[in-house]
Chains A and B, each alone.
Chain A
Amino acid sequence: MKDADRALVVAVTTRAVFDAAAGDVYGMGVAFPLLQSLQKVNERLLEKNPAESLLFDVVLIATDSQQQSSRIISSTSHYGLEVGRFCFSSREDLVETLVVNNVQLFLSTDRDEALQVSQKGVLSALLGRQEAPSESLRVMLCGDAIVRPDCDPVPASRGAAQSFSARLGEMRGRFGVSGSPLSIVLVTSSGGSKSCGVALQTLRSRGLSVDEAYCLAGAPRGPILSLLRPHFLLGDGVIDLED
């Protein structure tokens, strides 16, 4: 198990990772490319420093009683997925399970589930659809949230988002400008180039350097999102990736 204090704990629902299928092994779900990308980041981090402690620690959470625990575990090992922990919980206990396991980011394909978690202060995001495996883990940040520090009420997961992005920045900093297995993409939807500049500066002051930046100034997000193919998008609350 990874160093509890230093690892970046990411929880994913088993429903997102595995598709129901006949036989002993589940099919690959939406979250598969994400897990592979997280793994690749860990591999590259350990390549640079075998004693690296700032790694992704993946927790699989099953809230779906439809999926059998034994099949989840055997499927995980069948695909060679590196999972730190399995948590067999229920929908009602989900948030508590996340908190107890020190989860810093919760990923789901279920919007209601993600919202419920986010409202309790745990950083949560929806998984993006990946058509093909990508070369890097692509994390998208919504700049509008960064530039709007004083909205009322302050989103519950704001604090969690800020500390997550600081850790992510530290992780990104282990790699050079090109060839990184982790890409940080900033998108600002409204607001012009000045706003985006403020977002870039704010993120940098938190230790997070951005690789790609897109300032839409009101242009629709959909066409850009389908080009950017993020694995997930972080912003205030939970944001839909299909615009």
Chain B
Amino acid sequence: MSWACPAPVQSWLFPLPVRVCAAGARPPVLGRVPEGRGRCRPCLGQGSEAKAGRTDLIFLIRFRHCCLLRNQRCILAYLYDRLLRIRALRWEYGSVLPNTIQFHMSAEEVEWFSRYKKSLATYMRSVGGEEGLDLTQDIKPPKSLYIEVRCLRDYGEFEIDDGTTVLLKKNSQHFLPRWKCEQLIRQGVLEHILS
């Protein structure tokens, strides 16, 4: 399944059906709905009439209730799918998402992402001894400490652990430590070459 970039969220769409659902989810016969939920007045009217004994309206109430529940299900399915893709981004891409992606995420999703990152970081620190264990590294079994990489686009200076810097220019090839390059390869800056 390819992880498409989440489409822009039309956040003004969501408050409407969800608010209606919250009101409509109460058993209609109670008929007690806060005044502000104007959209549910038809439900409210029918609810109290049903209470008054007009059982032929039960069908209509039930029908409307079904429709609301379905809308709610569809919306939740969509939002949940987006959330799963955003979560996958943390593992596949890294902890900093490109601006073009962030632009398409709603404020709640951005917050969810940062809380997920924090949660993951806390967990990784608690596992594997003192310094913790970076679980997002070595997703594919490593064969050697150093790997051959080719640069796919101009990136600039890159510092390695022993202090030396490498200039990453397009099409230049380097022999670098695996753990430093992994994230850059995943982000598409470098390309892993197998000999």
Chain A bound to chain B: no
Chain A interface (Cβ within 8 Å of chain B)? none
